[in-house]
């Protein structure tokens, strides 16, 4: 090898290393100013279902997306995967994976990324596998469609992953999806999601359809394997319990907007947004002495203010200014809160 070639190669590796170091510290996923809209017909009225959303996740970080139904959690997750329903579209913003904007990718490029670099598990674990085809065959085919490996090698990897999700590997490998219990199927889909060692896993309500104990075990597995792979996880759940118990950081959504985000510990101990506060108080949690009464949140999740703070119609603290656009206000180093009252330091901690 000539000296020049060696030198060029060295420079290239150095650059690679630099890039690697950058990836390790910089976010895997960065969503900037993302809006998702529904257009009535071509050129018709625009309904913004997700509004100016910003968030980022670093390697090894688990971020929880919380909020009641219809708040836009699943739409956000689908947008990252490039799986938005046809009637909806991203109307502004960027979705960056390691700095690359997914919205600029072709369907084909996106298809290659999805399932490999960005993996996902959903609430409907039944849909993760095609019925009437054995689990093993589906895993082998998936592996071979992304990587050029031999059948025996793919089988070896598939079995290994089934073991890693604590399933009886050989038996599951030669089973049909319908022969598995819900918990087993969700574990198998976790294996299918993780076997490419993705940089990001999207888990949308992964335990909602499972029993409590089964669901806890699936999340234990997810947390354990995430540590081993050092990947980023977006955990979408309407159940604050999972988000509080499992995640490093969290974002609370209401009416398509993030109303508060930050370190999970910080939000749990010192929630500032009225909605976060009320959600924390309204949910049933085990206590040494049971509560007499829950703090009620007036109204229903469908009540969304069109302008300004989306929560204004239900907020016990709302005032005129709330119907203007609320800015994301820094509320300490680890927390951001979109609330006019926080801004004015009007939020009473007992609200």
Partner 1 sequence: MLEVKNVSKSYRSNTVLTDVSFHLEQGECLGLIGESGSGKSTIAKLILALDRSDSGQIIVNNVDFSQLKGRELRKARRHVQVVFQDPSASLNPKLPVWKSVIEPLENYPEASPSFLKEVRNEKRKMAEILFEKAGLQSGLLDRYPHQLSGGQRQRVAIARGISLQPNLLIFDEPTSNLDVSIQAQILNLLKDLKSEINMSYLFISHDIATVQYISERIAVLKEGRLVDLFKTKDLFSADRHPYTKELIDAALE
84 or 315: CB nearest ligand SF4: 315
Q: At 35, is the secondary structure helix, strand, or coil?
A: strand
Shortest distance, position 176 Cβ to partner 1, whole Å = 21
The site partner of 88 among ligand SF4, Mg ion, ligand ADP, none (C-beta below 5 to 8 Å per kind) is: ligand ADP
Residues 75-114 that bind ligand SF4 (CB under 6 A): none
Stretch that binds Mg ion, among 22-30, 70-78, 102-110, 265-273 (CB under 5 A): 70-78
The answer to the question of residue 110 lying near ligand ADP (CB under 6 A) is no
74 or 266: CB nearest ligand ADP: 74
Beta strand spans in 116-223 (E): 118-122, 200-204
The answer to the question of residue 341 lying near ligand SF4 (CB under 6 A) is yes
Stretch that binds ligand ADP, among 68-76, 141-149, 160-168, 262-270 (CB under 6 A): 68-76
Q: In this structure, is the dihedral angle defined by the CA atoms of residues 128, 130, 132 and 138, taken in order, positive or negative?
A: negative
Residues 293-322 that bind ligand SF4 (CB under 6 A): 309, 311-312, 315, 317-318, 322
**Residue 150: how many CB atoms within 10 A of its CB?**
9
> Using CB atoms within 10 A of its CB, is residue 166 exposed (0-12), middle (13-18) or buried (19+)?
middle
How far apart (Å, rounded) are the C-alpha atoms in residues 141 and 131? 15
The answer to the question of residue 73 lying near ligand ADP (CB under 6 A) is yes
Measure Cα distances from 228 to 12, 102, 214, 256, 297 in Å.
28, 26, 22, 33, 40
Residues 253-292 that bind ligand SF4 (CB under 6 A): 273-274
**Dihedrals phi, psi of 330, to nearest 5 degrees:** -65, 135
Half-sphere exposure of 297 (CA within 13 A, CB side): 20
Binding site for ligand ADP (CB under 6 A): 38, 49, 67, 69-75, 85, 87-88
- Which residues of the chain form contacts with ligand SF4 (CB under 6 A)? 273-274, 309, 311-312, 315, 317-318, 322, 326, 339-341
């Amino acid at each position: 090898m000539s000296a020049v070639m060696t030198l060029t190669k060295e420079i290239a590796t150095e650059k690679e290393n630099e890039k690697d170091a950058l990836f390790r510290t910089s976010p895997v996923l960065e969503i900037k100013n993302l809006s998702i809209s529904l257009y009535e017909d071509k050129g018709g009225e625009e309904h913004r279902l997700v509004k100016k959303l910003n968030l980022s996740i670093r390697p090894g970080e688990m971020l929880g997306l919380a909020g009641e139904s219809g708040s836009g959690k699943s739409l956000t997750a689908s947008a990252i995967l490039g799986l938005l329903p046809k009637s909806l579209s991203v109307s502004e913003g960027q979705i960056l994976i390691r700095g690359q904007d997914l919205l600029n990718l072709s369907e084909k490029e996106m298809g290659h990324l999805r399932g490999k670099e960005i993996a996902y598990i959903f609430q409907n674990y039944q849909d993760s596998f095609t019925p009437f085809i054995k689990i093993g065959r589906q895993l082998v085919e998936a592996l071979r469609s992304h990587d050029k490996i031999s059948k025996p090698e793919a089988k070896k990897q598939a079995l290994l992953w089934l073991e890693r999700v604590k399933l009886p590997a050989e038996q599951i490998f030669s089973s049909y999806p319908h022969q598995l219990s819900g918990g087993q199927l969700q574990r198998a889909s976790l294996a299918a999601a993780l076997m490419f060692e993705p940089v990001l896993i999207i888990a949308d309500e992964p335990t909602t359809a499972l029993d409590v104990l089964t669901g806890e075990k699936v999340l234990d597995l997810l947390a354990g394997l995430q540590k081993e792979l050092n990947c980023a996880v977006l955990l979408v759940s309407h159940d604050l319990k999972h988000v509080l118990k499992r995640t490093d950081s969290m974002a609370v959504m209401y009416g398509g907007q993030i109303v508060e985000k930050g370190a999970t510990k910080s939000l749990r101990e010192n929630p500032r947004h009225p909605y976060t506060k009320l959600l924390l108080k309204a949910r049933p949690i085990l206590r040494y002495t049971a509560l007499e009464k829950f703090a009620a949140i007036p109204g229903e999740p469908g009540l969304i203010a069109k302008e300004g703070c989306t929560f204004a119609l239900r907020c016990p603290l709302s005032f005129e200014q709330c119907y203007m656009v609320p800015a994301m206000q820094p509320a300490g180093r680890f927390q951001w809160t979109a609330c006019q009252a926080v801004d004015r330091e009007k939020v009473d901690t007992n609200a």
